[in-house]
Structure 1
Amino acid sequence: MAQSECDRNGLKENVDSLQASLSNVQEECATLTNDKEGMSVEIENLNSELDEAKEALSAAASSKADVQLKLEENESRLSKALSDLEEAAAAHQLVDGENAGFREKLELVQAQLD
C-alpha cells in the first residue's frame, strides 16, 4: 500500500504539474490571440494608410500630367510669340530702311529747293 500511495502522490504531482503547464499554455494562447487581434488592427490601419498613399500618388501623377500639358501649351504660345516678335523686328528693320531711303530723297529734294 505504501507503494500505491507513493504512486498516487506521484500521479497527483504529475497532474498538478500538467495542470499548471496547461494553465501556462492557456495564458500564452490568450496572449497570442490578443497579439494577433492587435496585429490585425495594425494591418488594417497600414492597409488604410497604403490606400491613402496610393490615392495621393495617383492625384500627384494626374497633377503632374496637367502641369506637363500646361507647360507644353505655354511653350507653344511662347514659341508663337517669339516668331511673331521676330517677324515684327524684321518688318521694323524694313520700315527703318524705307524711312532712311525717304529721308535721303527728302534731303535731295530739299537741297534742290534751296
Structure 2
Amino acid sequence: MNTALTISDVFQSPQSLHCAQKIKEWIDGNTFYTKQHLIWNIGVTNAENLLNIESTVRHDMTCKHWRYWNNESFKDAMETLRKLNKSPNVIKSPYNDYSSKGSYVFIYKTIIPEDSRLFHTLHT
C-alpha cells in the first residue's frame, strides 16, 4: 500500500484561505494610513478579461496599486472575495465580473470618486 501524503493533504487547508491571507498582507503592506481618501477595489474575473481590466485600471491616473491572484476555482475566488469584503477599506470593483465564473481575484487602490455616496458619507 502506497501512503505518501503531501503537507496539503495532512492539513486539508483550502488555497482560498492562503490566497485571502496573502492578499490581506499585501493590502496591509500598501496601506499607509486610512485618512488618505483611497479605497481598495476588488473583483473576480477570468483570464480573458483580466488583461482588459488591467489596462483600463492602469490607464486611470488615480490607480495607485494593481495586482491579481489566481485561485483554484470560481468557488475559491468567491470565498476569497467574501473574506476580504469584510475589511472596512475594501469594496467591490465596478469591473467585477461574476458571469464569467473566472478564478482570478484582482485588486487595485484608487481615489474615492467625489460623486459617490461613500465620499459624501466619509466627508459629512
TM over 0.5: no
TM-score by length of 2: 0.20
Q: Which has the higher strand share?
A: 2
Which protein, 1 or 2, shows the higher relative CO under an 8 Å CA cutoff with sep ≥ 6? 2
TM-score by length of 1: 0.21
Q: Which has the higher helix share?
A: 1
Larger Rg: 1
